[in-house]
Amino acid sequence: METHKAKRVEIIIEAALESRLTNAMRKAGVTGYTVLPVKGGSGRSGEWNRSGQVTRGSGMVAVVCLIRPDRLDTLLDAAFAVVEPHIGVVSITDAQVLRAERF
Amino acid sequence: MSEILELAAGNLISPIILSFVLGVSAALLRSDLTIPEAVAKGMSIYLLFAIGFKGGAGVAAHGIDTTLVLTLVIACILSFGLPFIGFVLLGAMSRLGTLDRAAVAAHYGSISIVTFVAATSVLDAQGIASEGYMVAAAAVMEAPAILSALWLVSRSGGGSRGTVDAGLYREILLNGSIVLLVGSFLIGAVTGEDGLAKISPFIVAPFQGVLCLFLLDMGLVAGRGLRDSRRELGPGTIAFGMVMPLIGSCLGLIGALLAGLSPGGAALLMTLSASASYIAVPAAMRVALPEARPSIYLTLSLGVTFPFNLTVGIPLYTALSTAIAGG
Protein backbone atom coordinates (compact mmCIF):
# COMPACT_ATOMS: atom_id res chain seq x y z
CA MET A 1 0.00 0.00 0.00
CA GLU A 2 1.30 3.48 -0.87
CA THR A 3 2.12 5.74 2.05
CA HIS A 4 3.08 9.41 2.17
CA LYS A 5 5.42 11.35 4.43
CA ALA A 6 3.82 13.52 7.12
CA LYS A 7 4.74 15.19 10.39
CA ARG A 8 2.95 14.33 13.62
CA VAL A 9 2.93 17.30 15.99
CA GLU A 10 1.86 16.69 19.58
CA ILE A 11 1.34 19.65 21.87
CA ILE A 12 0.61 19.03 25.55
CA ILE A 13 -0.73 22.25 27.02
CA GLU A 14 -2.77 23.56 29.93
CA ALA A 15 -6.50 23.03 29.39
CA ALA A 16 -7.18 26.74 29.85
CA LEU A 17 -5.15 27.40 26.71
CA GLU A 18 -6.81 24.76 24.53
CA SER A 19 -9.17 27.04 22.63
CA ARG A 20 -6.45 29.66 22.12
CA LEU A 21 -4.13 27.05 20.63
CA THR A 22 -6.73 25.50 18.34
CA ASN A 23 -7.86 28.98 17.20
CA ALA A 24 -4.26 29.89 16.37
CA MET A 25 -3.85 26.62 14.46
CA ARG A 26 -7.02 27.20 12.45
CA LYS A 27 -5.86 30.74 11.61
CA ALA A 28 -2.63 29.20 10.32
CA GLY A 29 -4.68 26.94 8.05
CA VAL A 30 -4.40 23.78 10.14
CA THR A 31 -7.99 22.66 10.45
CA GLY A 32 -7.45 18.99 11.23
CA TYR A 33 -6.40 18.02 14.76
CA THR A 34 -7.42 15.81 17.67
CA VAL A 35 -7.71 16.90 21.31
CA LEU A 36 -7.07 14.19 23.90
CA PRO A 37 -7.48 14.34 27.69
CA VAL A 38 -4.28 13.89 29.68
CA LYS A 39 -4.61 11.75 32.80
CA GLY A 40 -1.61 13.00 34.70
CA GLY A 41 2.13 13.25 34.66
CA SER A 42 5.24 14.83 36.06
CA GLY A 43 7.50 17.60 34.83
CA ARG A 44 9.37 20.74 35.87
CA SER A 45 6.31 21.95 37.76
CA GLY A 46 6.05 18.70 39.73
CA GLU A 47 3.59 15.81 39.68
CA TRP A 48 -0.05 16.26 38.88
CA ASN A 49 -3.07 14.04 38.38
CA ARG A 50 -6.35 14.66 36.62
CA SER A 51 -8.36 13.38 39.59
CA GLY A 52 -6.84 16.05 41.78
CA GLN A 53 -8.06 19.00 39.75
CA VAL A 54 -11.02 21.17 40.65
CA THR A 55 -10.44 23.67 37.93
CA ARG A 56 -9.96 23.34 34.21
CA GLY A 57 -7.21 25.91 34.64
CA SER A 58 -4.84 23.37 36.12
CA GLY A 59 -5.52 20.32 33.92
CA MET A 60 -3.70 19.46 30.70
CA VAL A 61 -4.78 18.36 27.22
CA ALA A 62 -2.89 16.94 24.26
CA VAL A 63 -3.50 18.44 20.81
CA VAL A 64 -2.31 16.11 18.05
CA CYS A 65 -2.19 16.88 14.36
CA LEU A 66 -0.75 15.30 11.23
CA ILE A 67 0.36 17.69 8.46
CA ARG A 68 2.36 17.77 5.27
CA PRO A 69 6.06 18.42 6.01
CA ASP A 70 6.03 21.73 4.06
CA ARG A 71 3.38 23.16 6.43
CA LEU A 72 5.28 22.34 9.60
CA ASP A 73 6.91 25.74 10.12
CA THR A 74 3.61 27.61 9.69
CA LEU A 75 2.02 25.40 12.33
CA LEU A 76 4.91 25.66 14.76
CA ASP A 77 5.05 29.47 14.48
CA ALA A 78 1.34 29.74 15.26
CA ALA A 79 1.43 27.17 18.06
CA PHE A 80 4.58 28.42 19.70
CA ALA A 81 3.17 31.95 20.01
CA VAL A 82 0.49 30.46 22.32
CA VAL A 83 2.55 27.79 24.08
CA GLU A 84 5.76 29.70 24.75
CA PRO A 85 4.94 31.42 28.10
CA HIS A 86 3.08 28.40 29.47
CA ILE A 87 3.69 24.93 30.86
CA GLY A 88 3.68 22.43 28.01
CA VAL A 89 5.57 20.12 25.67
CA VAL A 90 5.81 20.33 21.87
CA SER A 91 7.13 17.30 20.01
CA ILE A 92 7.43 16.47 16.30
CA THR A 93 7.81 13.01 14.85
CA ASP A 94 8.05 11.65 11.32
CA ALA A 95 4.95 9.75 10.29
CA GLN A 96 3.43 7.98 7.31
CA VAL A 97 -0.17 8.52 6.20
CA LEU A 98 -2.30 6.64 3.73
CA ARG A 99 -4.44 9.40 2.23
CA ALA A 100 -2.18 12.38 1.58
CA GLU A 101 -4.94 14.59 0.20
CA ARG A 102 -6.50 14.75 3.68
CA PHE A 103 -3.52 16.49 5.23
CA MET B 1 -17.27 34.19 73.27
CA SER B 2 -18.61 30.97 74.77
CA GLU B 3 -21.49 31.16 72.29
CA ILE B 4 -19.04 31.37 69.38
CA LEU B 5 -17.06 28.38 70.70
CA GLU B 6 -20.29 26.44 71.17
CA LEU B 7 -21.32 27.20 67.58
CA ALA B 8 -17.89 26.27 66.28
CA ALA B 9 -17.95 22.97 68.18
CA GLY B 10 -21.44 22.20 66.89
CA ASN B 11 -20.34 22.99 63.36
CA LEU B 12 -17.28 20.76 63.60
CA ILE B 13 -19.30 17.60 64.15
CA SER B 14 -21.71 18.24 61.28
CA PRO B 15 -21.77 15.69 58.42
CA ILE B 16 -20.43 18.20 55.88
CA ILE B 17 -17.34 19.07 57.94
CA LEU B 18 -16.65 15.46 58.83
CA SER B 19 -16.94 14.50 55.14
CA PHE B 20 -14.35 17.15 54.32
CA VAL B 21 -12.09 15.89 57.12
CA LEU B 22 -12.45 12.34 55.75
CA GLY B 23 -11.34 13.54 52.32
CA VAL B 24 -8.31 15.44 53.68
CA SER B 25 -7.32 12.47 55.88
CA ALA B 26 -7.64 9.98 53.01
CA ALA B 27 -5.44 12.16 50.79
CA LEU B 28 -2.81 12.73 53.47
CA LEU B 29 -2.71 8.98 54.19
CA ARG B 30 -2.28 8.38 50.43
CA SER B 31 -5.47 6.34 50.10
CA ASP B 32 -6.58 5.58 46.54
CA LEU B 33 -10.04 7.01 47.29
CA THR B 34 -11.14 9.25 44.42
CA ILE B 35 -14.39 10.78 43.24
CA PRO B 36 -14.59 10.40 39.44
CA GLU B 37 -14.09 13.72 37.66
CA ALA B 38 -17.47 13.56 35.92
CA VAL B 39 -19.28 12.82 39.21
CA ALA B 40 -17.59 15.79 40.89
CA LYS B 41 -18.54 18.01 37.96
CA GLY B 42 -22.14 16.73 38.13
CA MET B 43 -22.37 17.46 41.86
CA SER B 44 -20.94 20.92 41.32
CA ILE B 45 -23.63 21.63 38.68
CA TYR B 46 -26.32 20.30 41.02
CA LEU B 47 -25.18 22.46 43.95
CA LEU B 48 -24.91 25.62 41.83
CA PHE B 49 -28.33 25.05 40.29
CA ALA B 50 -29.97 24.30 43.63
CA ILE B 51 -28.48 27.27 45.47
CA GLY B 52 -29.24 29.65 42.58
CA PHE B 53 -32.82 28.42 42.21
CA LYS B 54 -33.56 28.64 45.93
CA GLY B 55 -32.09 32.15 46.03
CA GLY B 56 -34.25 33.24 43.10
CA ALA B 57 -37.37 31.72 44.66
CA GLY B 58 -36.54 33.61 47.87
CA VAL B 59 -36.38 36.90 45.96
CA ALA B 60 -39.72 36.11 44.25
CA ALA B 61 -41.30 35.53 47.67
CA HIS B 62 -39.93 38.63 49.37
CA GLY B 63 -39.62 41.07 46.47
CA ILE B 64 -36.84 43.38 45.35
CA ASP B 65 -35.81 46.37 47.44
CA THR B 66 -33.07 48.99 47.57
CA THR B 67 -31.04 46.74 49.88
CA LEU B 68 -30.55 44.38 46.93
CA VAL B 69 -29.03 47.09 44.73
CA LEU B 70 -26.91 48.39 47.59
CA THR B 71 -25.71 44.86 48.41
CA LEU B 72 -24.67 44.20 44.83
CA VAL B 73 -22.78 47.51 44.62
CA ILE B 74 -21.01 46.81 47.92
CA ALA B 75 -20.21 43.24 46.82
CA CYS B 76 -18.65 44.59 43.64
CA ILE B 77 -16.59 47.16 45.57
CA LEU B 78 -15.40 44.47 48.00
CA SER B 79 -14.27 42.22 45.16
CA PHE B 80 -12.41 45.10 43.49
CA GLY B 81 -10.86 46.28 46.75
CA LEU B 82 -9.86 43.11 48.61
CA PRO B 83 -7.01 42.21 46.21
CA PHE B 84 -5.26 45.50 47.03
CA ILE B 85 -5.29 44.64 50.74
CA GLY B 86 -4.18 41.09 50.00
CA PHE B 87 -1.35 42.28 47.74
CA VAL B 88 0.04 44.68 50.37
CA LEU B 89 -0.45 42.17 53.20
CA LEU B 90 1.36 39.43 51.28
CA GLY B 91 4.22 41.86 50.68
CA ALA B 92 4.54 42.30 54.43
CA MET B 93 3.98 38.66 55.42
CA SER B 94 5.80 36.69 52.72
CA ARG B 95 8.70 36.73 50.30
CA LEU B 96 6.52 36.10 47.27
CA GLY B 97 7.24 38.04 44.08
CA THR B 98 4.89 40.50 42.42
CA LEU B 99 3.23 37.99 40.08
CA ASP B 100 2.58 35.41 42.82
CA ARG B 101 1.26 38.11 45.16
CA ALA B 102 -1.07 39.48 42.49
CA ALA B 103 -2.36 36.00 41.60
CA VAL B 104 -2.99 35.14 45.27
CA ALA B 105 -4.63 38.53 45.82
CA ALA B 106 -7.03 37.87 42.92
CA HIS B 107 -8.14 34.63 44.57
CA TYR B 108 -8.94 36.42 47.85
CA GLY B 109 -10.96 39.16 46.16
CA SER B 110 -13.05 36.59 44.33
CA ILE B 111 -15.21 34.01 46.11
CA SER B 112 -15.53 30.30 46.81
CA ILE B 113 -19.04 29.21 45.93
CA VAL B 114 -18.70 25.98 47.93
CA THR B 115 -17.83 27.97 51.07
CA PHE B 116 -20.93 30.05 50.35
CA VAL B 117 -23.05 26.91 49.93
CA ALA B 118 -21.66 25.49 53.19
CA ALA B 119 -22.50 28.76 54.97
CA THR B 120 -26.10 28.71 53.70
CA SER B 121 -26.34 25.14 54.91
CA VAL B 122 -25.11 26.15 58.40
CA LEU B 123 -27.59 29.06 58.48
CA ASP B 124 -30.44 26.75 57.43
CA ALA B 125 -29.50 24.28 60.16
CA GLN B 126 -29.62 27.07 62.75
CA GLY B 127 -32.89 28.49 61.41
CA ILE B 128 -31.30 31.84 60.48
CA ALA B 129 -32.98 33.41 57.44
CA SER B 130 -30.98 35.23 54.79
CA GLU B 131 -31.75 37.29 51.70
CA GLY B 132 -32.17 35.11 48.58
CA TYR B 133 -30.31 37.61 46.44
CA MET B 134 -27.04 36.88 48.23
CA VAL B 135 -26.60 34.36 45.39
CA ALA B 136 -26.49 37.32 42.99
CA ALA B 137 -23.91 38.99 45.25
CA ALA B 138 -21.81 35.82 44.98
CA ALA B 139 -21.98 35.96 41.18
CA VAL B 140 -21.08 39.68 41.17
CA MET B 141 -17.99 39.03 43.32
CA GLU B 142 -16.47 36.37 41.03
CA ALA B 143 -14.79 38.55 38.43
CA PRO B 144 -13.81 42.10 39.55
CA ALA B 145 -10.88 40.84 41.64
CA ILE B 146 -9.22 39.46 38.52
CA LEU B 147 -9.20 42.93 36.97
CA SER B 148 -7.70 44.40 40.15
CA ALA B 149 -4.92 41.78 40.11
CA LEU B 150 -4.11 42.47 36.46
CA TRP B 151 -4.01 46.19 37.20
CA LEU B 152 -1.70 45.57 40.16
CA VAL B 153 0.69 43.65 37.92
CA SER B 154 0.75 46.32 35.22
CA ARG B 155 1.17 49.03 37.87
CA SER B 156 3.99 47.18 39.64
CA GLY B 157 5.81 46.43 36.39
CA GLY B 158 5.50 42.69 37.04
CA GLY B 159 5.82 42.03 33.31
CA SER B 160 3.88 38.83 32.68
CA ARG B 161 4.01 37.23 29.23
CA GLY B 162 0.46 35.99 29.57
CA THR B 163 -2.51 36.77 27.35
CA VAL B 164 -5.03 39.41 28.37
CA ASP B 165 -7.50 39.66 25.50
CA ALA B 166 -11.22 39.88 24.80
CA GLY B 167 -11.40 36.09 24.99
CA LEU B 168 -10.12 36.15 28.57
CA TYR B 169 -12.72 38.71 29.64
CA ARG B 170 -15.46 36.64 27.99
CA GLU B 171 -14.25 33.52 29.79
CA ILE B 172 -14.18 35.36 33.12
CA LEU B 173 -17.63 36.94 32.79
CA LEU B 174 -19.30 33.95 31.14
CA ASN B 175 -17.58 31.34 33.27
CA GLY B 176 -19.83 28.28 33.48
CA SER B 177 -20.30 28.64 37.25
CA ILE B 178 -21.45 32.24 36.92
CA VAL B 179 -23.82 31.46 34.04
CA LEU B 180 -25.37 28.52 35.91
CA LEU B 181 -25.69 30.42 39.18
CA VAL B 182 -27.23 33.52 37.61
CA GLY B 183 -29.38 31.47 35.22
CA SER B 184 -30.85 29.26 37.93
CA PHE B 185 -31.34 32.35 40.13
CA LEU B 186 -33.38 33.98 37.34
CA ILE B 187 -35.41 30.78 36.79
CA GLY B 188 -36.11 30.68 40.53
CA ALA B 189 -37.08 34.36 40.55
CA VAL B 190 -39.44 33.92 37.59
CA THR B 191 -41.09 30.68 38.72
CA GLY B 192 -41.13 31.58 42.43
CA GLU B 193 -42.44 29.41 45.24
CA ASP B 194 -44.60 27.37 42.84
CA GLY B 195 -41.57 26.48 40.74
CA LEU B 196 -39.60 25.58 43.85
CA ALA B 197 -42.44 23.36 45.12
CA LYS B 198 -42.41 21.44 41.82
CA ILE B 199 -38.73 20.53 41.97
CA SER B 200 -38.05 20.63 45.71
CA PRO B 201 -37.78 16.81 46.01
CA PHE B 202 -34.78 17.15 43.69
CA ILE B 203 -33.11 20.38 44.79
CA VAL B 204 -34.01 20.64 48.49
CA ALA B 205 -34.17 17.15 50.03
CA PRO B 206 -30.93 15.64 48.60
CA PHE B 207 -28.98 18.89 48.95
CA GLN B 208 -27.17 18.11 52.22
CA GLY B 209 -26.19 14.61 51.09
CA VAL B 210 -24.77 15.85 47.80
CA LEU B 211 -22.94 18.62 49.65
CA CYS B 212 -21.34 15.98 51.92
CA LEU B 213 -20.04 14.00 48.94
CA PHE B 214 -18.85 17.15 47.21
CA LEU B 215 -16.97 18.23 50.33
CA LEU B 216 -15.45 14.75 50.54
CA ASP B 217 -14.05 15.39 47.06
CA MET B 218 -12.92 18.90 48.05
CA GLY B 219 -11.18 17.35 51.04
CA LEU B 220 -9.36 14.90 48.78
CA VAL B 221 -8.25 17.72 46.48
CA ALA B 222 -7.22 19.97 49.37
CA GLY B 223 -5.35 17.11 51.06
CA ARG B 224 -3.46 16.21 47.86
CA GLY B 225 -2.57 19.87 47.35
CA LEU B 226 -1.26 20.14 50.91
CA ARG B 227 0.64 16.87 50.61
CA ASP B 228 2.35 17.81 47.35
CA SER B 229 2.86 21.56 47.68
CA ARG B 230 3.02 22.45 51.37
CA ARG B 231 6.80 22.97 51.18
CA GLU B 232 6.24 25.83 48.75
CA LEU B 233 4.27 27.77 51.35
CA GLY B 234 6.30 29.58 53.99
CA PRO B 235 4.89 30.25 57.48
CA GLY B 236 4.06 33.85 56.53
CA THR B 237 2.11 32.73 53.47
CA ILE B 238 0.18 30.14 55.48
CA ALA B 239 -0.60 32.78 58.14
CA PHE B 240 -1.87 35.04 55.34
CA GLY B 241 -4.33 32.28 54.38
CA MET B 242 -5.94 32.64 57.81
CA VAL B 243 -5.51 36.37 58.47
CA MET B 244 -6.85 37.54 55.11
CA PRO B 245 -10.26 35.83 55.58
CA LEU B 246 -10.64 37.57 58.93
CA ILE B 247 -9.88 40.96 57.35
CA GLY B 248 -12.20 40.21 54.44
CA SER B 249 -15.01 39.12 56.74
CA CYS B 250 -14.70 42.32 58.83
CA LEU B 251 -15.00 44.42 55.66
CA GLY B 252 -17.92 42.21 54.60
CA LEU B 253 -19.61 42.88 57.94
CA ILE B 254 -19.15 46.65 57.50
CA GLY B 255 -20.62 46.35 54.00
CA ALA B 256 -23.55 44.32 55.33
CA LEU B 257 -24.29 46.93 58.00
CA LEU B 258 -24.13 49.72 55.39
CA ALA B 259 -26.49 47.80 53.10
CA GLY B 260 -28.84 46.96 55.98
CA LEU B 261 -28.69 43.18 55.53
CA SER B 262 -30.25 40.75 57.98
CA PRO B 263 -27.90 38.78 60.31
CA GLY B 264 -28.11 35.81 57.91
CA GLY B 265 -27.35 38.00 54.89
CA ALA B 266 -24.50 39.64 56.80
CA ALA B 267 -23.02 36.22 57.64
CA LEU B 268 -23.13 35.30 53.95
CA LEU B 269 -21.51 38.57 52.80
CA MET B 270 -18.81 38.02 55.46
CA THR B 271 -18.30 34.47 54.17
CA LEU B 272 -18.08 35.65 50.57
CA SER B 273 -15.56 38.35 51.48
CA ALA B 274 -13.53 35.85 53.51
CA SER B 275 -13.47 33.08 50.93
CA ALA B 276 -10.92 32.54 48.16
CA SER B 277 -11.71 31.35 44.66
CA TYR B 278 -10.42 28.08 43.21
CA ILE B 279 -12.44 27.78 40.01
CA ALA B 280 -12.82 31.01 38.02
CA VAL B 281 -9.65 32.76 39.13
CA PRO B 282 -7.08 29.94 38.73
CA ALA B 283 -8.15 29.43 35.10
CA ALA B 284 -7.88 33.17 34.42
CA MET B 285 -4.50 33.34 36.15
CA ARG B 286 -3.09 30.49 34.06
CA VAL B 287 -3.92 32.48 30.94
CA ALA B 288 -3.09 35.99 32.12
CA LEU B 289 -0.25 35.38 34.60
CA PRO B 290 1.33 32.04 33.58
CA GLU B 291 4.49 32.74 35.59
CA ALA B 292 2.53 32.86 38.87
CA ARG B 293 2.73 29.47 40.60
CA PRO B 294 -0.51 27.47 40.95
CA SER B 295 1.16 25.47 43.72
CA ILE B 296 1.10 28.68 45.79
CA TYR B 297 -2.31 30.13 45.02
CA LEU B 298 -4.26 26.89 44.73
CA THR B 299 -2.72 25.32 47.83
CA LEU B 300 -3.30 28.49 49.83
CA SER B 301 -6.88 28.87 48.65
CA LEU B 302 -7.89 25.21 48.85
CA GLY B 303 -5.54 23.81 51.46
CA VAL B 304 -5.50 26.65 54.01
CA THR B 305 -8.31 29.17 53.59
CA PHE B 306 -11.09 26.78 52.55
CA PRO B 307 -10.67 24.47 55.60
CA PHE B 308 -10.18 27.51 57.84
CA ASN B 309 -13.46 29.05 56.69
CA LEU B 310 -15.28 25.74 56.86
CA THR B 311 -14.27 24.89 60.41
CA VAL B 312 -13.59 28.21 62.18
CA GLY B 313 -14.69 30.99 59.85
CA ILE B 314 -18.35 30.23 59.13
CA PRO B 315 -19.36 29.70 62.79
CA LEU B 316 -17.40 32.82 63.72
CA TYR B 317 -18.99 34.94 60.99
CA THR B 318 -22.44 33.62 61.87
CA ALA B 319 -22.00 34.41 65.57
CA LEU B 320 -20.56 37.88 64.88
CA SER B 321 -23.24 38.82 62.38
CA THR B 322 -25.97 37.60 64.75
CA ALA B 323 -24.45 39.60 67.62
CA ILE B 324 -23.78 42.78 65.64
CA ALA B 325 -26.23 42.92 62.71
CA GLY B 326 -28.94 41.27 64.81
CA GLY B 327 -28.65 43.86 67.55
Per-residue pLDDT of chain A (103 residues; tens, 9 = 90+): 888 999 999 999 988 889 889 999 999 888 889 999 888 777 766 666 665 555 545 678 999 999 999 889 999 998 888 888 888 889 999 999 888 777 7
pLDDT band for position B229 (cuts 50, 70, 90): confident
What percentage of residues in chain B have a pLDDT greater than 70? Answer: 95
Amino acid identity, residue B163?
Answer: T
Q: What is the mean pLDDT of chain B?
A: 88
A49 touches chain B (CB under 8 A): yes
Give the end-to-end CA distance of chain A in Å, rounded to a whole number: 18
Interface of A with B in 54-93 (CB under 8 A): 54-58, 82, 84-87
Inter-chain CB proximity B279 and A54 less than 8 Å: yes
Distance from CA of B208 to the nearest CA of A (A): 20
Closest by Cα among A54, A47, A87 to B30: A47
Complete DSSP assignment for B136-158: HHHHHTSSHHHHHHHHHHHHHT-
Which pTM does this prediction carry? 0.84
Inter-chain CB proximity A49 and B295 less than 8 Å: no
d(CA B297, CA B155): 20
pLDDT of residue A56: 45
ipTM for the complex? 0.70
Q: Which residues in chain A are contacts of B160 at CB distance < 8 A?
A: 85
pLDDT of residue A43: 73
**For residue B326, pLDDT beyond 80:** no
| Domains and their CATH numbers in chain A | 4-102 (3.30.70.120)
Closest residue to A54, CB basis, from B221, B228, B286 = B221
Q: Give the mean model confidence (pLDDT) for residues B257-284.
A: 91
> Where in the sequence is the domain holding B195, given as residue range(s)?
2-324
Distance from CA of B282 to the nearest CA of A (A): 6
> Picking from A53-57, B16-20, B190-194, B227-231, which range would have the lowest pLDDT averaged per residue?
A53-57
d(CA B101, CA B293): 10
Distance from CA of A69 to the nearest CA of B (A): 29
B285 touches chain A (CB under 8 A): yes
Asked if residues B289 and B103 have their Cβ atoms less than 8 Å apart, the reply is yes
Amino acid identity, residue B263?
Answer: P
pLDDT of residue A47: 66
Closest residue to A16, CB basis, from B37, B218, B283 = B283
Task: Say which CATH number the domain at B27 has.
Answer: 1.20.1530.20
pLDDT band for position B274 (cuts 50, 70, 90): very high
Asked if residues B290 and B160 have their Cβ atoms less than 8 Å apart, the reply is yes
Alpha-helical segments (H) within chain B: 2-12, 15-28, 37-62, 66-93, 98-109, 113-125, 134-140, 144-156, 166-173, 176-203, 207-229, 235-259, 263-274, 280-288, 294-298, 306-308, 314-324
Closest residue to B298, CB basis, from A50, A51, A58 = A58
Domains: count for chain B: 1
Asked if residues A48 and A2 have their Cβ atoms less than 8 Å apart, the reply is no
Please give the residue of chain B at the shortest CA–CA distance from A56. B283
Instruction: List pLDDT tens digits, range B115-169.
Output: 999 999 889 888 899 998 899 899 889 889 999 998 898 887 666 667 777 778 8
**For residue B11, pLDDT beyond 80:** no
Instruction: List pLDDT tens digits, range B170-215.
Output: 878 887 888 898 899 999 999 999 999 999 999 988 998 999 999 9
- Number of other CB atoms surrounding residue B155 within 10 Å: 11
